[in-house]
């Protein structure tokens, strides 16, 4: 067929791998990946998490080995979650702020082993440590008490900073948590410890496997504090508030089903934007791949590249080490 006018041919730029590489608008880099890790108290060997094949609850010993692997692969940071022994859980999550609690012990250990070779982050939340499984302390009638929870978050954050965390990650979605933690850190002298605010965190079914990972005691849901999936404007409001209260970085979570928010937050945020590829996202790709229904490696890279394309500067992903090694 002859055409009487020149045809614009975008396909010219897709002809060879080298050409596609040259014109790629986005890339994945190991330094932008953060590895979430679970460390459990009272276990003798690393314990597999059945809904997240390939992810384990670490012992302190295996945690150090896995951290070393992540750091040498070039992963940019580590986000630590503590899993206490069931008998150490109580109504206010005391084990979280106990200097000898599992999370604070692990932070001290990694600080001693790796110092400034990585960016060490801690989940600053109560749900792993409470016997009711909520992210805050409860009122007499069983609701999550916002302002009483802020006091606990302040204690948690200070204990984590003391243990060596360079970044604290408040993930409980209480109002005013960033400001409360900032003042507590500053008064305790931790003016250089920064906050990665889980600013727009949705009440999501995609957290299912994580609840197994941390042995959560939760019955019910978190809809009175985490955001409704229906809402967009509210997320932008949350981000604005967190930045005003002193957030050093902000996060959107989960990632894949919320890429519109990642984009909008990235367009407006004056601070770095993170997105969390959560446990359910990990489980979906893993399960489909196990059935032979999806190309695992390609799906992993594609999902991460798309989160970057949406505007995330930083991605928390359980595949951080593996992907860093592949890049």
- Positions touching ligand PBG (CB under 6 A) are 123, 125, 127, 135, 171, 207, 210, 222, 278-279
Q: Which is nearer to ligand PBG, 135 or 265 (CB)?
A: 135
Distances from the Cα of 235 to the Cαs of 4, 94, 201, 207, 231, in angstroms?
Answer: 51, 30, 8, 18, 7
CB of 299 to ligand PBG, least distance (A): 17
Q: Which is nearer to ligand PBG, 104 or 171 (CB)?
A: 171
CB 167 within 8 A of CB 195: yes
Q: Which is nearer to ligand PBG, 190 or 210 (CB)?
A: 210
Which phi-psi region, left, alpha or beta, contains residue 124 (left: φ > 0; alpha: ψ -120 to 50)? beta
> How many whole angstroms separate alpha carbon 126 and alpha carbon 138?
11
CB of 321 to ligand PBG, least distance (A): 16
CB of 290 to ligand PBG, least distance (A): 19
CB of 187 to ligand PBG, least distance (A): 24
Write down the catalytic residue from 89, 134, 182, 201. Answer: 201
- Total count of residues recorded for the chain: 327
> How many whole angstroms separate alpha carbon 109 and alpha carbon 105?
6
Active-site residue, 201 included = yes
Q: Which is nearer to ligand PBG, 113 or 145 (CB)?
A: 145
Write down the catalytic residue from 89, 134, 222, 253. Answer: 253
> How many whole angstroms separate alpha carbon 15 and alpha carbon 53?
38
What is the tally of helices (H) and strands (E) in the chain?
Answer: 12, 10
Q: Which residues are catalytic?
A: 201, 253
């Amino acid at each position: 067929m002859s055409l009487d006018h020149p045809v614009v041919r975008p396909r010219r730029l897709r002809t060879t791998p080298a050409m596609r590489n040259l014109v790629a608008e986005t890339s994945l880099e190991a330094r932008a990946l953060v590895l979430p890790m679970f460390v459990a108290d009272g276990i003798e060997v690393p314990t597999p998490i059945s809904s997240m094949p390939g992810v384990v609850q670490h012992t302190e010993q295996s945690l150090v080995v896995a951290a070393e692997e992540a750091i040498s692969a070039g992963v940019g940071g580590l986000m630590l979650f503590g899993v206490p022994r069931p008998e150490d859980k109580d109504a206010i999550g005391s084990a979280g702020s106990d200097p000898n609690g599992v999370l604070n012990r692990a932070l001290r250990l990694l600080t001693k082993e790796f110092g400034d070779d990585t960016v060490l982050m801690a989940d600053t939340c109560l749900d792993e440590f409470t016997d009711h499984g909520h992210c805050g302390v409860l009122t007499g009638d069983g609701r999550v008490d916002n302002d009483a929870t802020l006091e606990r978050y302040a204690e948690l954050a200070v204990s984590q900073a003391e243990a060596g965390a360079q970044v604290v990650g408040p993930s409980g979605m209480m109002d005013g948590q960033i400001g409360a933690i900032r003042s507590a850190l500053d008064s305790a002298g931790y003016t250089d410890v920064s906050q990665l605010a889980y600013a727009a965190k949705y009440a999501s079914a995609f957290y299912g496997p994580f609840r197994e990972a941390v042995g959560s005691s939760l019955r019910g849901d978190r809809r009175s504090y985490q955001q409704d999936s229906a809402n967009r404007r509210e997320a932008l409001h949350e981000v604005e508030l967190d930045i005003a209260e002193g957030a050093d970085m902000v996060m959107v979570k989960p990632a894949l089903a919320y890429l519109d928010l990642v984009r909008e937050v990235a367009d407006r945020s004056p601070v770095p934007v993170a997105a969390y590829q959560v446990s359910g996202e990990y489980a979906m790709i893993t399960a489909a791949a196990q059935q032979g229904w999806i190309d695992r490696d390609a799906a992993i890279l594609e999902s991460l590249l798309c989160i970057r394309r949406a505007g995330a500067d930083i991605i928390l992903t359980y595949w951080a080490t593996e992907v860093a090694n592949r890049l």
